[in-house]
Structure 1
Amino acid sequence: MTVLHGTHVVLRPTTPADVPALAAIRAAPEVRARWRGGDDLDAEVAADLDDPGTHTYTIQVEGGIAGLIQWYAEEDPDYRHAGMDLFLAPAVHGRGLGTDAVRTLARHLVDDHHYHRLIIDPAADNLPAIRCYTKAGFRPVGVMRQYERGSDGTWHDGLLMDLLASELVR
């Protein structure tokens, strides 16, 4: 994995040394509400690093760790596409850094890995994330009803969004 440079962010391969800082970000109430997890967030972040199907980047802003962005792929030639997900520290929310990180990774996936379609699936009620992804060029495809179980134990809707390579903002 290579280091990717956005306008304001640097996406670099995540290392085991990043796990405590990333787990601390995941533990923030604003993040934990969207990225559920158990009691051992360090182990969960580390598990993402060990998953050969997940490609994980640490988001850096001004030299500090601001979050994580990751991608995975469906490689069946008839359905080939890549998906992504991310989280950012609450201290950097609202600064356009999520949009910059998503655009930066999207360019990499289209230009270097030749994916023609990218997907992302925020919670249907996560309006800040939906705005972020829309600014990066993603479009709503449809609501996935009762898509994921929330921390309250009930099922919640997700919004499937996609971006075609031809729509990527350069």
Structure 2
Amino acid sequence: MEKLHGTQVLLRLLSEDDVEPLTAILAQPEIARWWGVYDAARVRKELLESELPAYAVEVDGEVIGSIQYDEEPAPDYRHAGMDLFLSSDRHGRGYGSDAVRTLARHLIHDRGHHRLVIDPQVTNEAAIRCYESVGFRKVGLMRAYERGPDGRWHDCLMLEVLKDELT
């Protein structure tokens, strides 16, 4: 689907016009802390041209971030994962929860998933609170799971939500 409507946000598939605002958002220190260094070429390659569906997160016509998902297609293990970033000046307003909930509903109701996962670094407390607010639960610690922008390996949490647990 090209557009998904949340309560506060609109999710729409990325376009070339989104490269500049997303590059600026990813350059914010609070975002770069988790995502690393992005220039326009990397945004274009990893978000716009990726095989993974990626959406711009909009509020009142302004791009405030991006959310994307991936799917495990094997029938016996079918599930989807997602990832999100929002402009740091938009944190704490419910936009992240609304974006996650909106994409989760699409993945469950339109794409047929019964289980969704997300895997923030254990120290990303704001992201964890956001995901828990829509029903994700901590199910495990993944040690030395992700290489951070600092070049070191960091622990991440595995959080999941089942179809009937989404709030």
| TM-score strictly above 0.5 | yes
Distance in 2 between the 1:151 and 1:4 partners?
Answer: 31
Q: Given the alignment of the two structures, is residue 147 of structure 1 paired with residue 145 of structure 2, yes or no?
A: yes
Distance, in Å, in 1 between the alignment partners of 2:29 and 2:111 is 35
Asked whether 1:51 is paired with 2:50, we answer yes
- Residue number in structure 1 paired with 2:110: 112
Partner of 1:6: 6
| Cα pair 2:28 2:88 within 8 Å, conserved | yes
Report the alpha carbon displacement of residue 77 of structure 1 after superposing the two structures with TM: 0.9
- For structure 1, the 5+ residue unaligned runs are none
Q: 1:12: Cα distance to partner?
A: 0.7
2:69 match: 71
- Superposition CA RMSD, Å: 1.0
Query: TM-score normalised to the size of structure 2?
Result: 0.96
Query: How far does residue 151 in structure 1 lie from its aligned partner after superposition?
Result: 2.0
Displacement over 3 Å in runs of 4+? none
Partner of 1:60, secondary structure, is strand
How many residue pairs match? The answer is 166
Task: Report what 1:130 is aligned to.
Answer: 128
Question: SS of the residue aligned with 2:100?
Answer: helix
**For residues 114-168 of structure 1, what are the alpha-carbon distances to aligned partners after superposition, in whole Å with 9 as ceiling and x for unaligned?**
1011010000110000000000110001010011112222211000100111111
| Corresponding residue number in structure 2 for 1:93 | 91
Q: What TM-score results when the alignment is normalised by the length of structure 1?
A: 0.94
Partner of 1:102: 100
The answer on 1:162 being equivalent to 2:163 is: no
